[in-house]
Every structure is written in C-alpha cells, then in structure tokens.
Amino acid sequence: MILDPPLAALHDAWTLVHGTGPAGAARLWPPVLRAAFPGRRRLVETWTGEGAAFARYATAEGPLFLKYLPAGWRDRNAYRRLEREVRFLRDLAPAMPVDHAPLLHGALDRARLRAHLLTPISRTRPQGGER
C-alpha cells in the first residue's frame, strides 16, 4: 500500500500510538521493544542523518543506540539500507573476526517501509571523532 506523504505520516502516527510496528520516534518505543528492554531509559540525544534518524539513551545496563526510520518517511532506499544493516548485524557480523556492535533488537516492516535496530554503545572504543 503506497500512501501520499501526509496520509503516510497520519497512518504511521496511528500505529505509533497503538504500539504496532517498528520504532518510529525516539521517545515512543513499541511494546515489544519496551518488553525486551524494561526499566528506565533517559534520552540523551537525537539527530537525523542521511537516510535515518538516531537516538542515544542512558540506561542502568549501559548506553543504547537506536537507528530508525521516522514515522511518515516511507523512503524505499532508506528502508533497504536499514534492512541490509539489520540482516548483516544479525546473520553475518557475529561470524566475522572484526569488532562490531551486537544487534540487540531489530524490526522490519516492509509494507510500511519502517524499521529499527538497537545496539549497545561500546565503552571501550572511541566514539565519533575521539581518538
């Protein structure tokens, strides 16, 4: 089902409020994600980059990183990239001899072109431009 952008945003907002599908906003996690990672989480920062939106959280278990397609985007290329990333982290990365962030949770909704992945943030490796 292909919807016009205003209708897509309205439809995605409806699914966010009712808790279905992948995460589509940094502050509102779907029930399946909240159940998998219960407890308090503090939103530290959010930003939008090329092809996705990002959020960083502080939790009692350590920092978390969420990459998601915001509600209403419906960007087929962005969905394909995130879908490949989820599948890589889930299926291939664990068998590779290189450092990578383990996939804690991933969700894909091809019909609505929505997806998210959640990983921990490494405390031992530098972040961003730090060295």
Strands of 114-120's sheet in order across: 41-49, 52-59, 64-68, 114-120, 105-109
pTM above 0.85, yes or no: no
Could you list the pLDDT tens digit for every one of the 131 residues in the chain?
A: 444 566 766 666 666 666 677 888 899 898 889 899 999 999 999 999 988 999 999 999 899 999 999 988 889 999 999 999 999 999 999 999 988 889 999 999 998 888 999 999 875 444 444 43
Question: In the prediction, which pLDDT does 73 show?
Answer: 84
Q: Are 13 and 19 in contact (CB under 8 A)?
A: no
**Distance, CA of 55 to CA of 43 (rounded, Å):** 7
Joined together, the tokens standing for residue 69 give 């397609």
pLDDT reported for residue 92? 92
pLDDT at 21: 78
Upper half-sphere CA count for residue 95 (Cβ side, 13 Å): 5
Segments of 7-124 assigned E as strands = 41-49, 52-59, 64-68, 105-109, 114-120
Dihedral of CA atoms 65, 89, 130, 121 in degrees, nearest 10, equals 30
pLDDT at 125: 44
